[in-house]
Amino acid sequence: MPYEFKFPDVGEGIHEGEIVKWFVKEGDKIKADEPLGEIETDKAIVEMPSPKSGKILKLNVQAGGIIHVGETMVTILEEHETEADAKKHMEAKEKKDVPYTGSVVGFLEEAKDVKPIPTIKKETKTITTTSQTSIQATPAVRNLAKQLNVDLSGIRGAGPEGRITIEDVQKAASSVKKDESAGIKITKKYDFFGYVDRVPLHGVKKAVANKMAESIFTAVQLTNMHEADVSELAALREKEKAAYEKEGVKLTFMPYIVKAAALCLKEHPYLNASLEGEEIVLKKYYNIGIAVDTEDGLIVPVVKGADAKDIKAIAKDIDKLANDARSRKINLMDLKGSSFSISNLGSVGVEFFTPIINYPESAILGVGRIIEKPVVKSGKIEIRKMLPLSLTYDHRIVDGAQAARFMMDLMERLQLCEFE
């Protein structure tokens, strides 16, 4: 019996995927673990390895088509099977797919008299004029058509004697256009105030929208805001940056923040937790999700075991994960298992903000743009580099004082450059 490779349930709320492209065609031979094609979920674009060696009997979904969990993607004739097995399978499949159209034995439905439908000859008229002066439209209709960039000569009016109405112009403006640059179908319509574009919500953006709605309507969210003096940390980063670059590692402030946060979470377990029914689950692993802005939407890859890694290892992880996320080539396992998340809007000029918890986590840290500010230190005014930090937490799990203590410890580690 040929093997039917079905779209597996990979978890994380993924129910369907889109076939981006096939690397094989029907009739091709393939080895186990060789890539069959690429499939896009709301998390990433991933390659599908073949589970069997054999011959591609049928591609059940065309490139660009949608496949749901449990549906057959590819039918493979395994190496030990024959063409006779394939033929038998396909015949059985065809019989199974044909709906039953028979009647009850011994019962014949009496045919009713059916009158033939008369053939209607359409009278054709030749229209020889297309000039603007011959178009039946009021000045108001002409003005609206000009605003909407609608060609009146291509409209057959629904008004008396073929007069073009405002409704005719609005209907003509409701055309479907193809955005060639993005490859997205956009429905262009006119409402009471003017043009509007309607872009389908799908893929990553739809997943993020659903996730954010679930978070904001479930967790009781509160945000504390602080500023950390990172003048010494900036000097340390500047000192170490050249050595990291020689090894091809991009050193930003983020690896230091990830490491410091992971160490602080060990001292403040309720910030590294989730609520399940009547129990608070305190997690003993410290996996930090890093929010990455991509063209398709927000993706949160995970730095696993951040508490046990050094700055260089974390920097390498962040760089690779971010690149994989932006190219949509990330492994699905790299998107799972976060216990705490960090969102950085400092790179786009934001100072303080209220990040939304990556539910069901109990907290998320927002990182802002480092700004030089006058600060009183030892009785003197100095210009210091200050890092805005915003901590949003689930007040069902974390008290305000617990959140404040976590932030004080985090700021101290960043200020003193303590990452051990």
Respond yes or no: is residue 395 known to be catalytic. Answer: yes
How many whole angstroms separate alpha carbon 237 and alpha carbon 144? 60
Which residue out of 68, 202, 226, 395 is catalytically annotated? 395
| Active site members | 395
